[in-house]
Amino acid sequence: MSARKTDDSGIAVIGLGRFGSRLAGSLAHLDQDVLAIEHDLERVQHWSTLLDRVVQADSTEEIALRQLGVADFRRVVVAIGASVEASVLTVLALTELGVPQIWARATSEKHAKILDSVGAHHVIFPEAETGERVAHLIVSKMLDFIEFGDDFAIAKVRVPPSLVGRRLRELSPADRYGVMVVGAKLPGERFSYASPDTVLQPESVLIVEGSIVQVQRFAALG
């Protein structure tokens, strides 16, 4: 078995229902170190043959999460959908542990507001989001993206710091990075089509297109 990347101490996924299991599988496919936590023993037994690390635990208990080392994870996804109470209590426990990035699944607008109020940093609506898409957003610096067939994507990314102050004509992103910059949103302005004379400003947001790998690499530039 090849060693997985442990960027930011891996990712914990809590809840292995339809969405959580697909998300965990997608993250593993992206070569991420995944810890899957599930309360139901049958699901634990099923997914333990498909994922590297699956443990049974009550995620609403802070002590249980601490014993599993969840406090060392930078990113945790609460994918629980069957119980709003368990979802909220789990986010509360993660907040107490000081997890920097808590992603939480919401089943309604009301549920989303509660999750936000108790400490969730990102709220996910699985009915509108696929596990693969959320996996890419979690592990990359992309703000948003749409994947098409044949490994092609259009993404929204922040201007990489190393490119600030430079014109697209000078950068030639298609040749240098394999992506096309098709739009730009400068601070305080609306999105507009990018041109060779567009100057990349600090805190600007770009719309770029290319392969998923190329777009991710462009978003990750220092």
Which domains, from first to last, does the chain contain? 7-139 (3.40.50.720), 144-219 (3.30.70.1450)
Q: For the chain, where are the alpha helices, taking DSSP H only?
A: 18-29, 41-47, 62-67, 84-97, 109-118, 131-139, 168-171, 173-176, 212-219
Please state the φ and ψ torsions of residue 176, each to the nearest 5 degrees: -85, -40
The 10s digit of each residue's pLDDT in 70-84 is 999 999 999 998 899
Say if residues 193 and 182 touch (Cβ distance below 8 Å).
yes
Contacts of 41 (CB under 8 A, 6+ apart): 56
Tens digits of residue pLDDT in 113-138: 999 999 999 888 766 555 656 666 66
